[in-house]
Amino acid sequence: MMSTTEHDHDQPVDGLSNHGQAVTGSSDQNRPVDGRPGHLQAASPEVVAELVFELGDVVSLDPAVLTEHSRDTSRAEPAGLPAAVVQARSTADVQAALRWATTHRVPVSVRGAGTGVSGGALAYPGGLVISMHAMNRLLEIDAANRIAEVDPGIIIEQLDQAAAEHGLMYAPDPVSYQIATIGGTVATNAGGLRCLAHGVTRDAIAGLEVVLADGRIIRTGSRTRKNSTGYDLTGLFIGSEGTLGVVTKVIARLKPRPTGDPVTFQAQFPTMASAGTAVAAIMALPTTPELLELMDRNCIDIVQRHFPSAVAPGGAALLVGQTIGPDAHPQAETIVSTCRAAGALLAEAGDGAELLATRRMVNPALNAAGLALSCDVAVPPSRLAQMFERIETISTRTGYPVNTCAHAGDGNMHPAVLAGDDSVEEIDAAEHVLTLITEAALEMGGVISGEHGIGSLKTGMLAQQFDPDTLALQHELKAFFDPAGILSPGRAI
| pLDDT at residue number 160 | 97
CB-based contact 75:2 (threshold 8 Å) = yes
CA distances from 3 to 162, 247, 457 (A): 34, 29, 16
The predicted model gives 183-208 an average pLDDT of 94
When the pLDDT of each residue in the chain is averaged and rounded to a whole number, the result is 89
Q: Give pLDDT, residue 240.
A: 97
Each residue of 163-194: b (16+ CB within 10 Å) or e? beebebbbbbbbbbbebbbbbbbbbbbbbbbb
Q: What is the spatial distance between Cα 486 and Cα 244, in angstroms, rounded to a whole number?
A: 10
Say how many C-beta atoms besides its own lie within 10 A of residue 479's C-beta. Answer: 11
Its sign, for the CA torsion 401, 405, 408, 410, is negative
Of 72 and 146, the structure prediction assigns the larger pLDDT to 146
Task: State the amino acid at position 361 in one-letter form.
Answer: M
* The predicted structure's pLDDT at residue 281: 96
Beta bridge partners of 219: 209
Domain ranges of the chain: 20-131, 138-256, 263-443
* Beta-carbon contacts of residue 122 (< 8 Å; ≥ 6 apart): 21, 70, 71, 72, 74, 76, 78, 79, 109, 456
Do the beta carbons of residue 344 and residue 318 sit within 8 Å? no
pLDDT for the residue numbered 312:
64
Q: What is the widest separation between alpha-carbon atoms in the chain?
A: 71
Give the model's pLDDT for residue 371: 77
Residue type, position 335, single letter: I
More confident residue, 299 or 352: 299
Helical ranges in 291-361 per DSSP H? 297-306, 328-341, 353-360
pLDDT reported for residue 110: 97
Half-sphere exposure of 218 (CA within 13 A, CB side): 14
- The mean per-residue pLDDT over the stretch 325-341 comes to 94
Q: What is the mean pLDDT of residues 204-220?
A: 98
We find that the CATH architecture of domain 20-131 is 2-Layer Sandwich (3.30)
CA distance readout (Å), 488 to 18, 97, 109: 17, 14, 5
What secondary structure does DSSP assign to 166-179, as a single string?
TTEE-----TTTTT
Lowest-confidence region among 27-31, 154-158, 281-285, 485-489: 27-31
| First CA to last CA distance, the chain | 27
pLDDT over 70 for what percent of the chain? 91
pLDDT in tens, 383-439: 999 999 999 999 999 999 999 999 999 999 999 999 888 888 998 999 999 999 999
Give CA 343 to chain center in angstroms: 33
Confidence band of 180 (pLDDT split at 50, 70, 90): very high
Q: What is the pLDDT of residue 311?
A: 66
263-443: same fold as 138-256? Answer: no
196, pLDDT greater than 70: yes
Per-residue pLDDT reduced to its tens digit, 30-74: 334 443 334 899 999 999 999 999 999 999 999 999 999 999 988
> Cβ(99)–Cβ(214) under 8 Å?
yes
Query: What average pLDDT does range 197-201 have in this prediction?
Result: 93
- Under 8 Å CB-to-CB from 158, ≥6 apart: which residues? 138
Residues found in the chain: 493
Angstrom CA distances, 483 to 111, 212, 279, 478, 479, stand at: 21, 10, 45, 8, 5
- Topology of 263-443 in CATH? Vanillyl-alcohol Oxidase; Chain A, domain 3 (3.40.462)
Give the contacts of 491 (CB within 8 A, at least 6 positions apart). Answer: 22, 23, 119, 120, 241, 242, 243, 454, 455, 456, 459
What per-residue confidence (pLDDT) applies to 310? 58
> What are the start-end ranges of the H helices in 165-215?
182-188, 195-198
Does the pLDDT at position 294 exceed 60?
Answer: yes
Query: Could you give the CA distance from residue 308 to residue 249 in angstroms, rounded to a whole number?
Result: 43
Q: Is 368 exposed, middle or buried (0-12, 13-18, 19+ CB in 10 A)?
A: middle
Residue 96 CA to residue 101 CA, distance in Å, equals 9
How much is the pLDDT for 352? 67
359-389 tens-digit pLDDT: 878 878 888 888 788 889 999 999 999 999 9
Within 10 angstroms of residue 447's Cβ, the number of other Cβ atoms is 16
Is the torsion defined by CA of 452, 453, 458, 462 positive or negative? positive
From the CA atom positions of the chain, what is the Rg in Å?
23
pTM of the predicted model over 0.85: yes
CATH topology of domain 138-256: 3.30.465
